[in-house]
């Protein structure tokens, strides 16, 4: 865990404690009986904990809603195969850029099936695949803007999210890896 992750967790804990203190003070002003106050404090604390836990869950679509939505034009998807070297650094050993609309749609369909939970454990970069998606979107001022976003992916994680549902999100990607007709560009040794 790096210093940023630790600082962020401490900050979140600090905010949670402040929120509980504010709620306890507010409850104390409203509830005059000690038993009712204690019960209300426990209920509010459990509710806040439930909300915090619920906020850890999301979907692929929600994470990338600004870059990839129904109006987006996906220009291409680049898939990079990643492996660890002897010195424990990630290294790309092959990549391919997909421009075929049908294959792009299949990859996007596979990815949108993922339900995700923010993984608070140690983030082990990289995953098996590094994916870059180039999209074109219309701005509010009716301009087209082309941009890319990327993420790491394997069978259990996407970036620092754990995949929590049974999904076949690597189906099309793995088919491309196995397909001898796909023009993978391999790293020169």
For 47-98, give the DSSP string: HHHHHHHHTTEEEHHHHTTTTSSTT-EEEEEEEEEEEE-TTS-EEEEEEEEE
Can you give the pTM of this predicted structure?
Answer: 0.72
Helix axes 34-54, 3-30, angle to 10 degrees: 150
88 & 148 share domain: yes
**How does pLDDT run along the chain (189 residues), one tens digit per residue?**
445 444 655 676 677 778 777 777 776 777 666 666 677 777 777 877 777 777 778 889 888 888 898 889 999 999 999 887 666 676 778 999 999 999 999 999 999 989 998 876 665 566 789 999 999 999 889 999 999 999 999 999 898 888 999 889 999 999 999 998 999 988 875
Task: Give the chain's domain count.
Answer: 2
Q: Are residues 145 and 107 in the same domain?
A: yes
Q: Are 77 and 104 contacting, i.e. CB atoms less than 8 angstroms apart?
A: yes
User: What is the extent of the structural domain holding 123?
Assistant: 60-186
Looking at the fold, whether 84 and 40 belong to one and the same domain comes out as no
């Amino acid at each position: 865990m790096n210093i940023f992750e630790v600082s962020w967790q401490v900050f979140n804990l600090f905010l949670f404690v402040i929120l509980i203190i504010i709620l306890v003070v507010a409850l104390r002003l409203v509830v005059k009986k000690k038993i009712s106050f204690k019960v209300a404090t426990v209920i509010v604390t459990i509710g806040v904990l439930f909300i915090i836990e619920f906020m850890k869950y999301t979907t692929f679509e929600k994470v990338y809603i600004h870059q990839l939505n129904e109006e987006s034009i996906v220009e291409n998807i680049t898939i990079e195969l990643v492996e660890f070297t002897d010195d424990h650094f990630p290294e790309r050993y092959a990549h391919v850029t997909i421009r075929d609309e049908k294959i792009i749609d299949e990859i996007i369909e596979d990815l949108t099936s993922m339900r995700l939970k923010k993984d608070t454990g140690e983030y082990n970069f990289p995953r098996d695949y590094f994916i870059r998606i180039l999209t074109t979107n219309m701005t509010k001022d009716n301009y087209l803007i082309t941009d890319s976003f990327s993420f790491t992916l394997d069978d259990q994680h996407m970036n620092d999210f754990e995949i929590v549902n049974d999904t076949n999100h690597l189906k099309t990607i793995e088919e491309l890896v196995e397909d001898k007709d796909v023009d993978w560009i391999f790293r020169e040794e």
